[in-house]
A and B are shown apart, each in its own frame.
Chain A
Amino acid sequence: ETGVTQSPTHLIKTRGQQVTLRCSSQSGHNTVSWYQQALGQGPQFIFQYYREEENGRGNFPPRFSGLQFPNYSSELNVNALELDDSALYLCASSPGQGANYGYTFGSGTRLTVV
């Protein structure tokens, strides 16, 4: 059984640029949730995808967008990067929409905006 894989592990971007982060779900999982974790903080919910549809969104602006593919892998896109977007971006997959199904987290992508 494979876990959740995120790529890249580290990334440096310039303010104003766009970035795409990728997540491969654990086998058998149809739901992906994305979180942003600033240094020294708890993860903050960005959005969740269930069977290719957005299924809930946190308090993040529209320049944060996502996709889920038929194989349940997912992308997080951030446009017009700002310095405050520097954070660890975590992807979690689960076998169902609800938190009670259990989230499996990847190790994250560390994004630095300069």
Chain B
Amino acid sequence: GESVGLHLPTLSVQEGDNSIINCAYSNSASDYFIWYKQESGKGPQFIIDIRSNMDKRQGQRVTVLLNKTVKHLSLQIAATQPGDSAVYFCAESRGYQKVTFGIGTKLQVIP
């Protein structure tokens, strides 16, 4: 299938290790942030979101951290599995209007 990961930053992790994917967002007025996962040949899939009045949110095996001071988001994936291999995008929104995507990071899980 086609790759959406050409020319993207790549993070390689060993299966079972934790992964941390970082993102710098651009608009200081953004108040809602989302992480998406995109597998080859598919559209982006929602992973987790966080509002600007929070600095941490946890889901199943995933945690998002928000640092508004430096406009930085991170996605932590615990016990990374081969099925986690994909391109990960952070996205931002202001007033819950249009969603603006970042560049993306390709996660490669080494079995």
Q: Write the nearest CB–CB distance from B64 to chain A, whole angstroms.
A: 15
Chain B residues touching A, majority SS? loop
Tally of contact residues, A, Cβ under 8 A: 30
A43, A90, A104, A110: most-surrounded residue (chain B CB, <10 A) = A43
> Contact between A103 and B102 (Cβ–Cβ < 8 Å)?
no
> Contact between A41 and B103 (Cβ–Cβ < 8 Å)?
yes
| A42 contacts B by Cβ under 8 Å | yes
| A25 contacts B by Cβ under 8 Å | no
B3, B32, B96, B98: most-surrounded residue (chain A CB, <10 A) = B98
The 26 sampled A-B contact pairs (Cβ below 8 Å) are A39-B3, A39-B4, A39-B6, A40-B6, A42-B91, A42-B104, A44-B101, A56-B98, A88-B2, A90-B43, A90-B44, A92-B44, A98-B93, A98-B95, A99-B97, A99-B98, A101-B96, A103-B44, A103-B46, A104-B46, A105-B42, A105-B43, A105-B45, A106-B43, A107-B43, A108-B42
Residues of A participating in the B interface, judged by any CB pair closer than 8 Å: 4, 33, 35, 37, 39-45, 48, 56, 58, 88, 90, 92, 97-108, 110
Given contacts A42-B102, A44-B101, A92-B44, could you give 14 more A-B pairs where the C-beta distance is less than 8 Å? A40-B4, A40-B7, A41-B103, A42-B101, A45-B98, A98-B96, A98-B97, A99-B32, A99-B93, A99-B98, A103-B44, A105-B43, A105-B44, A108-B43
